[in-house]
Amino acid sequence: MKEDNKEKRIFDAALKLFVENGIDNTSISLISKEAGIATGTIYLYFDNKVDLINKLYISIKKEILEIICTEPTESMLSYDLLEKLWMDGVEWGVNNPCAYRFMMQTEISPYCNEELSAQFANYMKVLTKLVLGSIESKKFKDLPPEYILETIWTHLICTIGYIAKTKTRERKIFFQTLLDGIKY
Amino acid sequence: MKEDNKEKRIFDAALKLFVENGIDNTSISLISKEAGIATGTIYLYFDNKVDLINKLYISIKKEILEIICTEPTESMLSYDLLEKLWMDGVEWGVNNPCAYRFMMQTEISPYCNEELSAQFANYMKVLTKLVLGSIESKKFKDLPPEYILETIWTHLICTIGYIAKTKTRERKIFFQTLLDGIKY
Amino acid sequence: MKEDNKEKRIFDAALKLFVENGIDNTSISLISKEAGIATGTIYLYFDNKVDLINKLYISIKKEILEIICTEPTESMLSYDLLEKLWMDGVEWGVNNPCAYRFMMQTEISPYCNEELSAQFANYMKVLTKLVLGSIESKKFKDLPPEYILETIWTHLICTIGYIAKTKTRERKIFFQTLLDGIKY
Amino acid sequence: MKEDNKEKRIFDAALKLFVENGIDNTSISLISKEAGIATGTIYLYFDNKVDLINKLYISIKKEILEIICTEPTESMLSYDLLEKLWMDGVEWGVNNPCAYRFMMQTEISPYCNEELSAQFANYMKVLTKLVLGSIESKKFKDLPPEYILETIWTHLICTIGYIAKTKTRERKIFFQTLLDGIKY
DNA sequence: CATGAATGAGGCTTCATTCAT
DNA sequence: TATGAATGAAGCCTCATTCAT
């Protein structure tokens, strides 16, 4: 039978090498060596290299989105909720630097098309609801919701990068620049 | 002497194709065809493919930095100055979508190393001075200057992307989210 | 004991796929899927792929030769005998189009060597005797017996192909072109 | 500039190896070695392996058809004309054993599709005219013209094979078996 | 006997780079 | 300078075969 965690080993090896060398400078053969398996074995788990890239991207994106986009407890104010989501996101990014870098690389590469992005629509619902509600109740500025969503995401990414580089323990002061930027 | 503008034609062709297909899916041969010259000719102007990528990146990065980082007139307040720089940057990005995308792609790719980035230190002086001064005079929050610089850059990139996608004429309201985020 | 008819299922699957896609474009794995068994099972019945090809070829060639080369009843004239053999051969070919095509393909391929062909010497005795006798008794032209044998075989193959393509019910008129060609 | 006869050297090498080992057991790399060029060079002349196979087949088929299907002199009787064509064909086949074998192999392989065959329609006109005219004037039996064409071709192939194997100088007696078979 | 995951050699093809013209 | 045919290393992928279950 297919061995327990071979797919995970391929994922881990690919992620490490993609981030180190770039996707296109990482050969399937190299991935297989890093994963400690034969080249052909990768093709038992993935149709081809693009399929591997896509599935890796999806797996990572879902992981972060599941963290960020979990349904909130009823009692939370929208500011608190945003802060909680943002903090969780930062923590994930700081603890998964490779995953974070790969996600960024892929998102602006030609490997990331609309079809791929469409898979995550569901996850965005929580965040979208939060933003729409906060605009309506005049907690957020009256900006296009998509712009606010983009801003949140970009600011998160930017902060993760800064924290990863400087290893600072600060969090709250960075979050404040986001909140002050978008709050009414 | 080297013919008039052949280097520019190579740059233009490479930029277009790099953005369309990704750097590694763009062959030198394809670039030469797009530029209307022979394959070998590219090697009269560039040492190799990486050299072409680097020089293209440098050329673009300098273009945007020269726009953003020009010495301000004495009379400008720091808020006004930041706004002017930011506005110029947005306009450049919206008008040069390929250059903008290429710059982003390259910056997180393995092609962009520290040695390359170091070339732009000079250009950053203006901006750095602006940020340091504004922190000191309590116009900006007391955050690490590098974080503020990163935030400005990221916010700029994010907004260019949004405007390029939606073709909106709005500018000021987007700038306000940056300013509110970092001002004291 | 080896399960009932698994070898036959492999033969059938291989024959179908070899004819559809060519021998070298048919993988063992594909054959196993078509046969509804596991890949490794094929290696319980055949040493390797070449062995499968050879045994399939032998099995088919024997089938047609057994039909064509059965001992005649004493009373038959050589013309009648030839006609009977030829008719049987045509009928087999028309009813077994895959087998017929595979046999042709294999016979001119590098898979078919002298050692393989030698296995059928026995079967040819009847036909050889018929031809030699007919030449001696001046019923057939005084041509090299091997040439006549080749002619008979080729003409048979040609006619099967034509009938398979056109679905015609005609038989006798085609046989006549063979007989007129070689009879004294 | 593309060197004078490199395409021919590829053709010659491919033809030799295809016949010796079979098409699918002949790698592009092997062909390039036999031709004394680099592997990649083959792809300057052919799109891919199938393209090479097709173009080689077309080139050979056209060669033999041009020999066989040249317009006859007015004065020739149809029997004489058929004999001349047949003799020319036999001579070509005997002198080009590789080409002859490759043509046969390819014709019953999956590489030979209808689209490929359609390219030769023009060449067949002479032969078709000869056959139709001969049937009408009761020189040939009243058989389907396609069957007669097939018979001629098959008989030619069969005879070439026999002569190549036995090195016999005989010709006329073999032609007679064809003529007797189809003449009225 | 039967399975099918795993292997890794080998095939097809691409492409950065060179060099003779 | 400019050309583009030629090179051959390297990448993706297939598949005959093995072997632990």
Residues 47-86 of C with CB under 7 A from strand F: 48-50
Interface probe for A, chosen from B25, B108, B141, B153 (most Cβ of A below 10 Å), is: B108
User: Which pLDDT band holds residue C3 (cuts at 50, 70, 90)?
Assistant: very low
User: Which pLDDT band holds residue C2 (cuts at 50, 70, 90)?
Assistant: very low
* Cβ–Cβ under 8 Å, residues B17 and B34: yes
The predicted structure's pLDDT at residue B83: 93
The angle at the Cα of A78, spanning A76 to A80, to the nearest 5 degrees, equals: 60
Give me the amino acid identity at C98: C
Write out the two tokens for C113. Answer: 């060597």
The predicted structure's pLDDT at residue B179: 96
The predicted structure's pLDDT at residue A127: 86
Question: d(Cα C90, Cα A45) in Å, to the nearest integer?
Answer: 49
Q: What is the H or E stretch that residue D64 is in?
A: helix D49-68
Compute CA distances D161 → C150, C158, D8, D108, whole Å.
Answer: 9, 15, 25, 16
User: Which pLDDT band holds residue D3 (cuts at 50, 70, 90)?
Assistant: low
Residues 35-54 of C with CB under 7 A from strand E: 37-41, 43-44
**Which residues of chain B neighbour A159 with C-beta distances below 8 Å?**
147
Residues 25-44 of B with CB under 7 A from strand E: 25-29, 39-40, 43
Domain spanning C1-46, CATH class? mainly alpha
Dihedral sign, Cα of residue C167, residue C171, residue C176, residue C179: positive
Domain spanning D57-182, CATH class? mainly alpha
The predicted structure's pLDDT at residue B1: 44
Question: d(Cα D64, Cα D66) in Å, to the nearest integer?
Answer: 5
List the C8 CA – E3 C1' distance (angstroms): 19
The predicted structure's pLDDT at residue B3: 47
Question: d(Cα D111, Cα C22) in Å, to the nearest integer?
Answer: 9
Question: d(Cα B111, Cα B103) in Å, to the nearest integer?
Answer: 11
R_g over Cα of chain C:
18
Average pLDDT, chain B: 91
Least confident of B103-107, D57-61, D76-80: D76-80
User: In chain B, which segments carry CATH 1.10.357.10?
Assistant: 57-182
For residue C101, the Cα-to-chain-centroid distance in whole angstroms is: 9
What is the per-residue pLDDT across A73-97, written as a single tens digit (0 to 9) for each? Answer: 777 778 899 999 999 999 999 999 9
b (16+ CB within 10 A) / e for B5-36: ebbebbbbbbbbbbbeebbbebebeebbebbe
CB distance B143–A181 less than 8 Å? no
3-state secondary structure of B176: helix
The stretch B56-79 carries a mean pLDDT of 84
Least confident of A120-124, B101-105, D179-183: A120-124
CB distance B182–A177 less than 8 Å? yes
What DSSP line would sit under C19-86, residue for residue? HHH-GGG--HHHHHHHHTS-HHHHHHH-SSHHHHHHHHHHHHHHHHHHHHTPPPPTT--HHHHHHHHH
The stretch C88-115 carries a mean pLDDT of 89
Give me the amino acid identity at C144: P
Physical contact, A and B (3 or more Cβ pairs within 8 A): yes
**Which residues of chain B neighbour A111 with C-beta distances below 8 Å?**
22
* Residue of C110, C146, C181 with shortest CB distance to D21: C110
- Give the nearest nucleotide to C41, CA to C1': E2
C-alpha distance from A4 to closest chain B C-alpha (Å)? 33
**Which residues of chain C neighbour D183 with C-beta distances below 8 Å?**
180
User: Which pLDDT band holds residue C1 (cuts at 50, 70, 90)?
Assistant: very low
The stretch B44-67 carries a mean pLDDT of 94
Q: Quickly tell me which residue has 């094979």 as its tokens.
A: D161
Interface probe for A, chosen from B147, B167, B173, B178 (most Cβ of A below 10 Å), is: B147
List the A131 CA – E13 C1' distance (angstroms): 50
The predicted structure's pLDDT at residue A70: 77
What is the per-residue pLDDT across B115-133, written as a single tens digit (0 to 9) for each? Answer: 888 888 888 888 888 899 9
CB distance D176–C141 less than 8 Å? yes
**Torsion, CA C133, CA C136, CA C141, CA C147, rounded to 10:** 60
Question: d(Cα A182, Cα A151) in Å, to the nearest integer?
Answer: 9
Question: Helices A6-21 and A49-68, interaxial angle, to 10°?
Answer: 90
User: In chain A, which segments carry CATH 1.10.10.60?
Assistant: 1-46
Question: d(Cα D37, Cα D28) in Å, to the nearest integer?
Answer: 11
What is the per-residue pLDDT across D99-143, written as a single tens digit (0 to 9) for each? Answer: 999 998 898 888 888 888 888 888 888 888 889 999 999 999 999
Written as tens digits, the pLDDT of chain A (184 aa) is: 555 689 999 999 999 999 999 999 999 999 999 999 999 999 999 999 999 999 999 999 999 988 888 777 777 778 899 999 999 999 999 999 999 999 988 988 888 888 888 888 888 888 888 899 999 999 999 999 999 999 999 999 999 999 999 999 999 999 999 999 999 8
Q: Would you put residue C167 in left (φ > 0), alpha (ψ -120 to 50) or beta?
A: left
